[in-house]
Structure 1
Amino acid sequence: MVGRRQWNADQGARHRGSHIGEDARPQYEDGPRDLENGRYYDYGIGNKDSRPKPRIMKFQDAARTALEDARRGEIKRALMHGIDRSGLEKYRKSDEELKQMKNKKLRQFYEQQNERLNDWLEVDAVVMAIADDVLESMNPDPDHDGDQERCGGIQRVEGNIGELLPDEEKEKRRKAAKRANLAININVIANILLLAGKAFAVFTTGSLSLVASLVDSALDLLCTLIVWSTSRLVLWRLQAMQRRFPVGKRRLEPLGILVFSIIMVISFLQILQESLSRLMPPHAEAEILSWAAIASLLATIILKGAIGLGCRPIQSSQVQALVQDCKTDVIFNTLSLLFPFIGYRANVWWLDPVGAGLLSIFIIYDWGHTCFENVVRLSGEAADDHTLKKLIYLAYRFAPVVTGFKNVTAYHAGDGVWVEFDVLLDEKTPLNRSHDIAETLQYCAEGLGEVDRAFVTTDYAASGPLGHATDSEWNH
């Protein structure tokens, strides 16, 4: 590991320790200690039967590795230079200080500044945690003889970059995932209970608004099942699935929401059609709501309101879709209760079908908008300014080791973001240094929660081509 190796010229041995967990790698006193000999530094790469090399070759291995360590150590020191986490924290305003601010615009300014500080501190933590492991993982076989002299952090975690994140960040993401799963499970139980209650109540009245509410609850349960099943598919790591989906299955989540939104729109088009038919002659009497119907609607309003408020802070596309669904349920069931109730009390026969039609239009508009948002994101919509500024700060962290950046492009491929960095380097930069800088930037970007995939290209001229054909969409 860069900055963590020490060579003893008298013994010709390398002493090293593990920075992942507390497991120290075993050191053996008997037999030759050859960099090429996996008998003494076995990382599961199959060097146990390697034959010891002559002393001159062992010295060449040691010299070559020491030079590479020094070069990568220089890159690491440059990346770590200027990181001052405590210096950033002094600009943060506490919750108590924010509450004492009477000026709304001033409070919003400092709230945005706190969010920006959180982003910068996350980027600094990712660079500090990942850069060392990535640099250590480069070129494990520098003499190309088939025996790996080193095994870095990327190899040890088998490419799972999340394992290299700081413990604080890993715990934060673990808790977020746990809260998301809890929210989905609670919503499933609530939808089953509410659906059973409304199914019983709908037989006690002929209110079309209550029928619309029953359809909404049935589709709520379907939405939850779609979200749950897609989240499980995303987490599957079967080898066959990895070959079939080489860049992951994250886009299954917005696709699931897209399918559900289409089902929602089609279903309420049918409710709208039924409400219009009830307005046609012959006219019926105003429908009365039974106590079972009133109780089921009130239970839905209270339960869905509580679930929505509890899930609102969880920043996940799945959970946010459920939050939107809870908000819609509260509005929908409140009006489903008021329209037939007022219609019966005021003896206005047409209020119930008109209310059902208005509710259907509301649902069609709401979920039609959700459908459009997911289509736009799946089509490659540009990332928001908040995410782009965070990525630009990551690029700034690499300023000491590059000449500049020609471009930073971030766009959606579903809920996650794909980002492209176009890096400027001096034209005399060696290939190995150029590669190490680009690869480290790529892994650091993919360590951020918003980024699914990162691509880094290097250039030596600021005025060269942008790197992609501008008419690629019309060439097929």
Structure 2
Amino acid sequence: MVGKRELLPSRKSSIPSRPTTGRRSTKSYRDDNNRPGSSDLETGLYTNGNTNSDTNGITHEEESQEARNILSKGTDNANGKTTLWRFRDAANTALEDRRRDELKNALLDGINRDKLEDFRKSDEELKAIKNKQVRKFYENQNESLNDWLEVDALVKAVADDVLESMDPDPDHDGDDERGGGLQEMGGAIQSFLPEEEKERRRQAEKKAKWAININVLANIALLAGKLAAVASSGSLSLLASTVDSALDLLCTLIVWSTNRIVAWRLKTLQRKFPVGRRRLEPLGILVFSILMVVSFLQILQESVEKVMPLKGTAEALPVIAVAAMGATILIKGIIWFGCIEIKTTQVQALAQDCKTDVIFNTLSLLFPFIGYKADIWWLDPVGAGLLSLFIIYDWAGTCFENITRLSGQAVEPALEKKLLYLAYRFSPIVDGFKSLTAYHAGDGVWVEYDVLLGANTKLHRSHDVAETLQYCAEGLDEVDRCFVTTDYSEKGPTGHAQDAG
């Protein structure tokens, strides 16, 4: 406890010394201190396990009791602390609070966010710009302003609670003199986000859940219809469409199941995956994309085999096949247009998938229909081959994208600007930034900041600045993990071995 070491020496002269009958040897002193015993934590005096009189006639227990009697004159009986200790605890805690408040005020009030709005173009102003490139520039600028205002709101909401959570026991006596939000929430950062941001994320998650559920139900119903249609028709285009629907449903189930696994909070899984399981989803998509490519390579092979004899007969599509394909186009089109306005990553990916399904199923219906009406027997297998090539190309791109992201691909420029603004947001309390590295670890992003501080910066300030920046970065929806290091020189080693990769 703070103050104990200063207090005891000043009291030491008041404690009666033991009468001596002779000089005590060094060996005897060491032996006494090496014997097993117990320490009186409040007086700081040592008491060994033997309470009998020593060679001087005074027991250790009696000596400790005398010390307690002397110290009890200034002791608060409610908690066992001396008044002087309690005063020093309060004084040190007050100094810590003052230092933290100064840091907090410099961070929260150091940037004027209202100035950012001066650079925004309204919708009317954008419509008045005739040059498409100039209009696109200002649209991108508005998006950047939205990102920066999101960062600013995040810092204002999160930094306060994070700083309040630092060093809850400044006197190290085992009792927390103060507590912060991080302790109360078990380290979860999402609860500190601004209310509008939390509501936005809740709504986005809710809409994404509804969209995915509706898409799953639609895929199940449409797949059942297509299976019945394939059983009554020999069209390869229809077969390709059915395989696409089956694998599309499988893909959705993979995404759903991996999301559920990621959301589990089992202690066993947390110990086995200490930084989370967010990369399970891209790994599942990676495996599925390979399966998709292999499946359509098989359909492509069948298309080639059907064309190679250079003769055949055009077949009419049964009514059930036309109905199944038409229903697919209609339902997927409705889901596509319903998802366009929901600007979230998951829903936009679903909208893109539905758009692809509309195009794919339309062509799957047109190739055999036109082939039968025009009596072009090869149009159906050739169409199936072209559709297979399209699917192979599309999913090979998805496969490559997941591989590059899992391999640590650099983030997009827009997100890098957002992270740079977060660094700028901390400029009032740091000397600068030596480097910023942001890269994908699956769908999520890992970020590394190297912060410049003065060479004489106290450890507690360096820690509070770095960890607050770390929590603020991890509060962003795109960031899974953030690492912050500090430096006092803008030149020197980069912090990582350059041949490590």
Contact 1:294–1:337, Cα closer than 8 Å, also in 2: yes
- 1:63 equivalent in structure 2: 91
The yes-or-no answer on 1:370 pairing with 2:411 is no
User: Separation in 1 of the partners of 2:342 and 2:397?
Assistant: 21
- What is the aligned partner in structure 1 of residue 287 from structure 2? 259
Cα distance in 2 for residues equivalent to 1:197 and 1:413:
39
How far residue 90 of structure 1 moved from its aligned partner, in angstroms, is: 4.1
Task: Identify which of 54, 57, 61 aligns with 2:82.
Answer: 54
Q: Which residue, out of 292, 297, 309, partners 1:269? A: 297
* Residue identity opposite 2:222 in structure 1: L
C-alpha distance in 1 between matches for 2:198 and 2:326: 40
Q: 1:102-141 alignment to 2 at 5 Å? A: 102-141=130-169
C-alpha offsets along residues 414-452 of structure 1, whole Å, 9 cap, x if unaligned?
Answer: 111100000111100011111111011111111111111
The structure-2 alpha-carbon separation of the partners of 1:197 and 1:462, relative to structure 1 and needing over 3 Å to count, comes to: same
Task: Tell me the CA shift for residue 98 of structure 1.
Answer: 2.9
Match of 2:111 among 83, 87, 92: 83
Of 156, 176, 180 in structure 1, the residue corresponding to residue 208 of structure 2 is: 180
SS of 1:115's equivalent in the other structure is helix
Partners of 1:84 and 1:302 in 2: CA distance: 50
Matches of 1:316 and 1:372 in 2, distance apart?
Answer: 22
For 2:306 and 2:178, how far apart are their aligned partners in 1?
A: 77
- 1:432 and 1:107 map into 2 onto residues whose CA distance is 48
Match for 1:374: what amino acid?
N
- 2:372 paired with 1:344: yes
Are 1:323 and 2:390 matched, yes or no? no
Q: Give aligned-pair identity as a percent.
A: 69
Is this contact kept in 1: 2:406–2:441, CA < 8 A?
yes
1:150 counterpart SS class: coil
Q: Is the CA contact 2:110–2:428 (under 8 Å) kept in the aligned structure 1?
A: no
In structure 2, the residue matched to 1:457 is 485
Q: Radius of gyration: which is bigger?
A: 2
Aligned pairs (5 A) from 1:414-453: 414-453=442-481
Distance in 1, matches of 2:179 and 2:161, equals 10
Structure-2 change in CA distance of 1:315 and 1:226 (3 Å): farther
Q: Partner residue of 2:127? A: 99
Q: What is the one-letter code of the residue matched to 1:393?
A: Y
Aligned residue pairs total: 425
Describe the superposition over 1:337-387 as per-residue Cα deviations: whole angstroms up to 9, x where unpaired.
111111111111111101101100100000000000000000000011111
| 8 Å CA contact 2:282, 2:443 repeated in 1 | yes
In 2: Cα distance, 1:172 partner to 1:430 partner: 39
- Given that 1:253 and 1:318 are in contact with CA atoms closer than 8 Å, whether structure 2 keeps it comes out as no
SS in 1 for 2:119: coil
Which amino acid in the other structure matches residue 406 of structure 2? Answer: L
Cα distance in 1, alignment partners of residues 448 and 313 from structure 2: 64
CA displacement, residues 95-130 of structure 1 (integer Å, 9 cap, x when unaligned): 344334333223212211211111111111111111
Distance, in Å, in 2 between the alignment partners of 1:455 and 1:313 is: 35
- Pick aligned residue for 1:280 from 289, 308, 325: 308
Letter in 2 for 1:264: M
* Counterpart residue number, 1:213: 241
Tell me, yes or no, if the aligned pair for 1:317 and 1:415 is still in contact at 8 Å: no
The alpha-carbon deviation at position 392 of structure 1 amounts to 0.7
Tell me, yes or no, if the aligned pair for 1:408 and 1:421 is still in contact at 8 Å.
yes
Amino acid at match of 1:405: F
Structure 2 counterpart of 1:245, one-letter code = F
Aligned to 2:21: none
C-alpha separation in 2, matches of 1:318 and 1:258 = 16
> Secondary structure of the equivalent of 1:411?
strand
Matched-pair contact (CA < 8 Å) for 1:230–1:256: yes
Aligned-pair distance for 1:143? 1.6
Matches of 2:117 and 2:140, distance apart in 1: 14
Equivalent residue, structure 1, for 2:61: none
C-alpha distance in 2, partners of 1:52/1:150?
A: 19
User: If the length of structure 2 is used for normalisation, what is the TM-score?
Assistant: 0.82
CA-to-partner distance for each residue in 1:201-260, whole Å, 9 max, x for gaps?
Answer: 222321111111111111111111111111111111111111111111111121122122
Q: Shift of the alpha carbon at 1:167?
A: 0.7
Q: What does residue 425 of structure 2 align with? A: 397
Read off the aligned partner of 2:130 and give its amino acid letter.
K
Task: Give the TM-score, by structure 1 length.
Answer: 0.86
Give the distance between the partners of 2:123 and 2:217, measured in 1 at CA. Answer: 35
2:266 corresponds to which residue?
238
Task: Give the Cα separation in 2 of the matches to 1:379 and 1:351.
Answer: 42
The CA deviation at 1:282 is 7.3
For 2:110 and 2:462, the matched residues in 1 are separated by 22
SS in 1 for 2:450: strand
Instruction: Write out aligned runs for 1:148-227 (5 A).
Output: 148-227=176-255
Consecutive unaligned residues of structure 2, counting only runs of 5 or more, are 1-77
Q: Secondary structure at the match of 1:284?
A: coil
Measured in 1, the distance between the counterparts of 2:343 and 2:275 equals 23
The answer to whether the Cα contact below 8 Å between 1:227 and 1:318 also exists between their aligned partners in 2 is: no
SS at match of 1:472: coil
Are residues 460 and 80 of structure 1, via their aligned partners in 2, closer, same or farther at CA, if it must alter by over 3 Å?
A: same
Aligned equivalents of 2:356, 2:150: Cα separation in 1? 34
